[in-house]
Amino acid sequence: MSNKNNWSKFFLFSMTFMFAAVLLISYALHAQPYVPSEPYKDLDERIKQFFEEIIENPASVAAFESILTSGLTTGGNSLIDTSISDMKSKLDDVKTRFGNFKDYEKIDAKPIGKDLVIIRYLLKCETYPVVWTFTFYRRPNPNAAAVSQPAQWQTIGLKFDTNLDLLILK
């Protein structure tokens, strides 16, 4: 009789385990996936505003001034070596060669440490895409106790290129 009792306990344990496994698998299949927060959402908003402005009015210099002067610092080996008018002139050449600007898309964001990030976007023209690279730096806050005053991201680099091999070389 005890052998039958052991089998009953084993069967009950097995069925409970199987029921729990089915519930767990069902939950895993139907649960909402984890979506990490966007750590550079404020930077993406600045970049999107920049692209919206140059798509709407490619002749405007205001978009460049906005993205470049927002917390801009000078010095060092900044990629912003050319003037805004030079960048605007080069962009006009791109528009002449590849047509109107139609849309844009984020490619990636690569943090380098906690205070430097490189964000790449694709600007889609009528006949060819252009790779844009934005580099942002956040100066360390000298007063670490001033948590209420977070450091601002500064644009320290901006370049665009039609060399799509840049997308392969991360």
Which residue's structure tokens are 């990490």? 36
Strand locations in the chain (E): 101-111, 116-125, 129-138, 153-161
Task: Examine the pLDDT at 44 and tell me if it is beyond 90.
Answer: yes
Give pLDDT, residue 27: 63
Query: What average pLDDT does this structure show over 49-57?
Result: 93
Query: What average pLDDT does this structure show over 126-150?
Result: 80
Fold of 42-168: Nuclear Transport Factor 2; Chain: A, (3.10.450)
Write out the two tokens for 94. 């791109």
Say if residues 47 and 134 touch (Cβ distance below 8 Å): yes
Say if residues 73 and 153 touch (Cβ distance below 8 Å): no
Number of neighbours of residue 164 by Cβ within 10 angstroms: 12
Q: Which residues pair with 137 in a beta bridge?
A: 116, 154
What are the pLDDT digits (tens) for 61-82?
Answer: 888 888 877 654 444 444 455 6
How much of the chain, in percent, has pLDDT values that exceed 70? 70
Mean pLDDT over the full length of the chain: 79
- The order of strands in the sheet holding 153-161 is 101-111, 116-125, 129-138, 153-161
Comparison of pLDDT for 13 and 82, the residue scoring more? 13
CA 13 to chain centre: 49
Helix (H, G, I), strand (E, B) or coil at 129: strand
Query: What average pLDDT does this structure show over 97-106?
Result: 95
Q: Which residues pair with 131 in a beta bridge?
A: 122, 161
Task: With CA atoms as reference, report the closest residue to 151 among 106, 126, 117.
Answer: 117
